[in-house]
Amino acid sequence: MIIGGLRKLGQVTLFLGSLLAQCGPALARPRLVVHQIYNAGARSLIIIMLSGLFVGMVLALTGIDLLARFGSEDVLGVAAALGLLKELGPVVTALLFAGRAGTSLTSEIGLMRATDQLTAMEMMAVNPMRYVAAPRFLGGIIAMPLLVAIFDIVGLFGAQLVGVQQMKVNAGTFWSQMQGAVHLDDVVEGIIKSLSFGFACTLIAVYEGYNASPTAEGVGLATTRTVVASAVLTLIIDYLLTAAFL
Amino acid sequence: MRSTRNLEVGTGLFVLLGFAALAFLTTQLPSSGLKLGGSKSGYKVLAKFDNIGDLKPGAPVSMAGVNIGEVEGIKFDAKDYKAAVTLRISTAYNQIPDDSDASIQTQGLLGGKYIGIGPGGSDMFLKDGSTIPFTQSAIVLESLVNKFFANFAQRGGGGGGGDSGSPDSSAAPSGDATKEKQK
């Protein structure tokens, strides 16, 4: 069990090494990376924006219920902004990303493996790491912070919708308190978190797909493992990074 | 051909949206981000306080409730044991009399501290590097409560010793009187 875990960790690390080695050559073909940014990012836009809107709205709703008991509705903007920027934005986006983009990466690469496309590429002296794995990895890492930023903005809009439009918190107070309390560090923390989550989730997705058993069942199992491992790893990294930035 | 165009447009839209959102978050949201543009403009004024409470750099400086600048830095002045607070005031407000007073005030009951400036009557105006002569320290809630309770206990002791409801000035003598009685 322990040996197995160590072996898996070693395999992922070695895979990451060869993946990073191929990232430079993959960047030389930006068209492949752009395609993957489209797949991972642009096609996740709708679900990210919809989730962001509702997360922001529910944040404002619970926040105002709690804050009204202390007569301090004026800090609603601060609570919503910090909650979104530092925790909910990166974490929820990463979970959605694992479900939306991670699974499609794993099953796509796994299916390539199952239908011997990767082997065929190797036969033709085309490195599948360079043309299949690395562009997807880069695309995911680039798309993730952008998705988080969009999630945050839409979330703030949602919080504003409930807090200011519905619950009648003063709009000036809402925004000025937010600007007074949010520092550049908080934004940077969110960006670093999103980059780390993007890195972890995409690495897991590509690794699982690349090493999936070449059967229908194997691809299915690999996809499940991607979601589970991404979610757990995201939450663990989130705790560690939050502790580090505190 | 059409699908590649769709792909490019979609990616371009996504990247544009993403970077616009990032730019908004980094420049507009934090007060420190706004300062990047505003830090060049504005003049610095020094004010020394006996006690600044929990005033922090970045706190607003306001005059008649209007935000005119912010606290740039706080240092301890070892010479006269005071807190030296540097205020950066926007150049738009360059007609503040140089005998104005600065006081540390609280937003709401338990809110953050800010500096309020009350205008003086001088013809000369504050300029870069000048010092605000009159300052009023932060009101520390705990010490206020302590003072109140000390006062209250003193009055209560005097009342128990003799005449009830005695005014504050007679509390001390009546306390002495009870001590003499106990002797």
In DSSP notation, A143-202 reads HHHHHHHHHHHHHHHHHHIIIIIIT---HHHHHHHHHHH--HHHHHHHHHHHHHHHHHHH
Q: How far apart are CA A94 and CA A101, in angstroms?
A: 10
Range of the domain at B12: 2-31
Structural domain contains residue B20: yes
| Beta bridge partner(s), residue B97 | B125
Q: What is the CA radius of gyration of chain B?
A: 27
B146 to chain A, closest Cα gap in Å: 24
Structural domain contains residue B59: yes
Q: Do B58 and A178 touch (CB under 8 A)?
A: no
Q: How far apart are CA A183 and CA B26, in angstroms?
A: 9
Q: Range with the lowest mean pLDDT among A90-99, A176-185, B95-104?
A: A176-185
Range of the domain at A235: 32-245
Provide ipTM, 2 decimals: 0.73
What average pLDDT score do residues A74-91 get? 90
* B50/B111 same-domain check: yes
* B108/B80 same-domain check: yes
Mean pLDDT of chain A: 90
Q: How confident is the model at residue B168 (pLDDT cuts 50, 70, 90)?
A: very low
**Overall domain count for chain B:** 2
pLDDT at B178: 44
Best A93, A150, A169 residue to mutate vs chain B (most B CBs within 10 Å) = A150
* B54/B18 same-domain check: no
* B9/B91 same-domain check: no
Condensed to tens digits (0 to 9), the pLDDT of residues A29-71 reads: 888 888 899 988 888 899 999 999 999 999 999 999 888 887 7
| Chain A residues lying within 8 Å of B9, measured CB to CB | none
Tokens standing for residue A26: 């993959």
Amino acid occupying residue A15: F
* Contact by Cβ (8 Å): B74, B158: no
Q: Is the pLDDT of residue B111 over 80?
A: no
Q: How far apart are CA A226 and CA A193, in angstroms?
A: 19
Q: Is the pLDDT of residue B73 over 60?
A: yes
Q: How far apart are CA A40 and CA B106, in angstroms?
A: 48
Q: How confident is the model at residue B1 (pLDDT cuts 50, 70, 90)?
A: low
In three-state secondary structure terms, B76 is strand
Q: How confident is the model at residue A175 (pLDDT cuts 50, 70, 90)?
A: confident
pLDDT at A172: 66
Q: Is the pLDDT of residue A202 over 90?
A: yes
Tokens standing for residue B146: 């302590």
Structural domain contains residue B151: no
Structural domain contains residue B121: yes
Query: How many CB atoms neighbour CB A168 within 10 A?
Result: 10
Q: Is the pLDDT of residue B77 over 70?
A: yes
Q: How far apart are CA A47 and CA A97, in angstroms?
A: 9
* B27/B50 same-domain check: no
B60 to chain A, closest Cα gap in Å: 8
Q: How confident is the model at residue B162 (pLDDT cuts 50, 70, 90)?
A: very low
* Contact by Cβ (8 Å): B138, B49: yes
pLDDT at A105: 93
Detail the DSSP E strand segments found in B40-175.
Answer: 43-49, 60-63, 66-77, 82-89, 101-106, 113-118, 131-132, 134-136
Structural domain contains residue A11: no
* Contact by Cβ (8 Å): A197, A234: yes
Structural domain contains residue A168: yes
* B21/B68 same-domain check: no
Q: How confident is the model at residue A148 (pLDDT cuts 50, 70, 90)?
A: very high
Structural domain contains residue B81: yes
pLDDT at A178: 82
B34 to chain A: closest CA residue: A179
Q: How confident is the model at residue B166 (pLDDT cuts 50, 70, 90)?
A: very low
Q: Give Cβ neighbours of residue B162 (< 8 Å, ≥ 6 apart).
A: B174, B177, B178
Tokens standing for residue B123: 């013809």
| Beta bridge partner(s), residue B86 | B46, B73
Q: How far apart are CA A21 and CA A137, in angstroms?
A: 12
pLDDT at B167: 47
* B133/B52 same-domain check: yes
Percent of chain B with pLDDT over 70: 74
What average pLDDT score do residues A71-100 get? 90
* B107/B23 same-domain check: no
Structural domain contains residue B126: yes
* B126/B52 same-domain check: yes
- pTM (2 decimals)? 0.69
* Contact by Cβ (8 Å): B139, B109: no
| Chain B residues lying within 8 Å of A178, measured CB to CB | 29
Structural domain contains residue B72: yes
pLDDT at A227: 95
Mean pLDDT of chain B: 75
What average pLDDT score do residues A165-181 get? 77
Percent of chain A with pLDDT over 70: 99
DSSP character at residue B125:
B
Q: How confident is the model at residue B110 (pLDDT cuts 50, 70, 90)?
A: low
pLDDT at B127: 83
* B16/B105 same-domain check: no
Condensed to tens digits (0 to 9), the pLDDT of residues B27-63 reads: 777 654 444 444 457 888 988 888 887 777 777 788 8
Structural domain contains residue A229: yes
**Overall domain count for chain A:** 1
Q: Could you tell me which of A127, A134, A106, A100 has the C-alpha nearest to residue A218?
A: A106
No. of H helices and E strands in chain A?
Answer: 12, 0
pLDDT at B124: 85
* B26/B59 same-domain check: no
Q: Which of residues 181-210 of A touch B (CB under 8 A)?
A: 181-184, 186-188, 190-191
Question: Given CB atoms, is B38 within the 8 Å cutoff of chain A?
Answer: no
